[in-house]
Amino acid sequence: MRKTVEGLSTVACGVSWRPGDNVVTDEIEFPANIYPWLNLKARYGVDTKLVPAPNGKVVADDLIAACDNRTRLVTVSFVQFSNGYRADLERLGAFCRSRGIYLCVDGIQGVGPLQVDVTRFQVDFLACGGHKWLLGPIGIGFLYIRKEIQPDIWPSEVGHLGVRQNIEKYTEYNMAFRPTAEKFEGGVHNYAGAFGFDAALTLIHEFGPANVESRVLMLTDQLCEGIVDRGYRLLSHRAPSEKSGTVAFVSDRQPAKDIFHRLMDAGIFVTISEGAIRVAPHFYNTPDEIERLLATLSSTPVVSTPP
């Protein structure tokens, strides 16, 4: 797969939908995990329910409460792009599996800094681009489909690499899909991206996924404590089961764009997301770098500039 949205679209196009089915998700998802499902309405008559996320929390029990006997799939980000909120995949997976509902996960903001066990969490699908936390090239990623349900999912991209092709006679057409995940790989692959992605994953595994998670959470704990101490308003939830590698905050005294430019001018790379400053330190960052960011925040003028 080239990107997260391609993986999610493969799932959306591959499920055998029935008119009146519905998909349950939340109202603060990144668009990549919304449009593939909204696109089902006109073609298949499938509704998409957007569950409220008060205070930026995607509560598993709220998603569960929105499910009914026509819910075919629940989809959620492992970690929310805007504030770093981590979904309770274990709770969602147990519910969905018990009801015969698919659980689909957008993993791009959480896979890499956090460990995810698709078997323990009973995830059916997980799509993830490789260019963010996994440190891979742009244009490469992966889609996980639980092995037991692969025969039930129709491939959206069909080509000679996904069928039982006689490579010695390509005009001997055989519309029989391969019995493995290869049936979802229709044509020529992004080999340069794959080699680059392999090197990035090797680096992460050399350091150790558990070590990556521990390091990222340590750095973000340090960051959050310093942000609050300096009078900024933290938008990220930091309970042990909710926190991630993404930290979002705002100032009630200064526009986010002013803070953004002050940090960028100091050589500290952050983003603005949904009107907040978003910081995402990885395992290669250091406590000293976090302190430099906090020191820069301390020196930021608190007087608002004209728009």
Domain 4-204, CATH class in plain words: alpha beta
**Residues 70, 227: Cα–Cα separation, whole Å:** 44
**Residues 38, 19: Cα–Cα separation, whole Å:** 14
Phi and psi angles of residue 127, each rounded to the nearest 5 degrees, phi first = -110, 140
pLDDT in single tens digits along all 307 residues of the chain: 789 999 999 999 999 999 999 999 999 999 999 999 999 999 999 999 999 999 999 999 999 999 999 999 999 999 999 999 999 999 999 999 999 999 999 999 999 999 999 999 999 999 999 999 999 999 999 999 999 999 999 998 888 888 998 888 989 998 899 988 888 888 888 899 999 999 999 999 999 999 999 999 999 999 999 999 999 999 999 999 999 999 999 999 999 999 999 999 999 999 999 999 999 999 999 999 999 999 999 875 544 444 3
3-state secondary structure of 53: coil
The number of C-alpha atoms within 13 Å of 7 and in the hemisphere containing its C-beta is 26
What pLDDT is recorded for position 233? 97
Alpha helices, H only, the chain: 4-14, 35-38, 40-44, 60-65, 89-99, 191-207, 209-229, 256-265, 287-298
Closest by Cα among 241, 297, 231 to 58: 241
Q: Are strands 71-77 and 141-145 parallel, antiparallel or unpaired?
A: unpaired
Sketch the domain layout of the chain as residue ranges: 4-204, 209-298
CATH code for the domain defined by 209-298: 3.90.1150.10
